[in-house]
Structure formats: C-alpha cells, structure tokens
Amino acid sequence: MSLHGVIAAFADPDALTQAARTMRDKGYRRMDAFSPFEVRGLAEILGMPRTRLPWAVLAGGIAGGLLVYALILYSVEIDYPVNVGGRPLHSWPPFMVIAFEAAILGAALAGFVGMLRANGLPQYYHPVFNAKTFTYAQGGKFYLLVEAADPKYRKGITRRQLTRLGAETVEDVEA
C-alpha cells in the first residue's frame, strides 16, 4: 500500500494549534486537522480558503422568492385570471407572504446542498480511517494530518518534528 501521510494526536486544542502553526512555519502546506469541536484560528493556520456558502444561501433565497413570485403572477394574470371584489389582478401584498416563505425555503436548500458540497460529502471513505489511533471512541483527541504529497514531507523527519511538538502518538496513514 502507498502512504497517504502521517497523523499525530494531541491532548488539547492549544497543542494542536501550536503544532499546526509550527509546521506551517516550517513550510508544510498540505495538512488537515480533525477535532471534536471547532478550534478558532485553525482554519487560517491551515490555509483554508474562506467559504462562499453565504453567497450560495443568498442566491438560493433570491431564486426561490423570484421563482414563486413569477409562478403566482403567471397563475393569476395569465392562466386563471379571476376578478375578486374589483381589485387588480396583480395585488402584490398577499403574494409577498408566499414569496417570502419560498425565499426562506430556497435559502435553506441552497445552504444544505452548499454545505454538503463544501465538505466533500457524501464521502464514504477517507484514508485517515486506516489509522488505528484515529477514533473518537478513545476520547476526544485533536489530530493533525500531514500528507505525503506535501513537497516538504520526509517520513522520518516529519514524524520526529511532530513528536517534538508534543504529539501523544504519531502514526503512518496508509492510502
């Protein structure tokens, strides 16, 4: 089997953050971190790009609202025009309620689909699952994965650097 990288387990989020910062300063770029909860500042240290999810949610909300409003206009003005009480066919105040609800639904669906896509889900397999120490059944550890595809990666050197940074365990990850 080929090597995917090396994974190190740390006891607390501060140790993980410091290790990621140090490895980044040493020139490592292909890293990933795993933790039982969000660790503030870790995404910036790892060089993860900012999310475009808010823009997707906004686009989904606008599209949902406009689509339903257009459907309402088509149904009351073209498909089945009924004059009720002498008011105009395009009476926008009651239509806005339904269009607003559709905008919320469109935003929620866009957020759900965008979150799945941003996280690369559904992903049924990841090489990190081959690591014996990578399990939350043993308790909430904090993991730093350095990929073998990183140009600075050297098997023995990278393992020793992670051990010196305070890793409880360091293990190779098979691909």
Partners of 170 in the β-ladder: 8
Same domain, 83 and 168: no
- Mean pLDDT confidence for 119-145: 85
Please state the length of the chain.
175
Work out how many domains the chain is built from and give that number.
2
Q: Are 43 and 60 part of one and the same domain?
A: no
Q: Dihedral, CA atoms, 150, 53, 112, 34, nearest 10 degrees?
A: 30
Clarify whether residues 84 and 128 are in a common domain.
no
Same-domain pairing of 60 and 114: yes
- The Cα–Cα gap between 82 and 76 comes to 7
**In which domain, by residue range, is 83 found?**
53-118
Output the pTM of the full model.
0.78
Residues 89 and 128 in one domain: no
Does 63 lie in the same domain as 25? no
pLDDT value, residue 135: 75
Burial 51-75 (b: 16+ CB within 10 A, else e): eeeeebbeebbebbbeebbeebbee
Whether 16 and 42 map to the same domain: the answer is yes
Domain closes at, from 98, 118, 138:
118
The residue-averaged pLDDT of 143-162 equals 95
Q: Are residues 101 and 150 in the same domain?
A: no
More confident residue, 84 or 13: 13
- What percent of the chain has a predicted confidence (pLDDT) above 90? 77
Q: How sure is the predictor about 1, in pLDDT bands with cuts at 50, 70 and 90?
A: low
The helix (run of H) or strand (run of E) holding residue 33 is strand 31-34
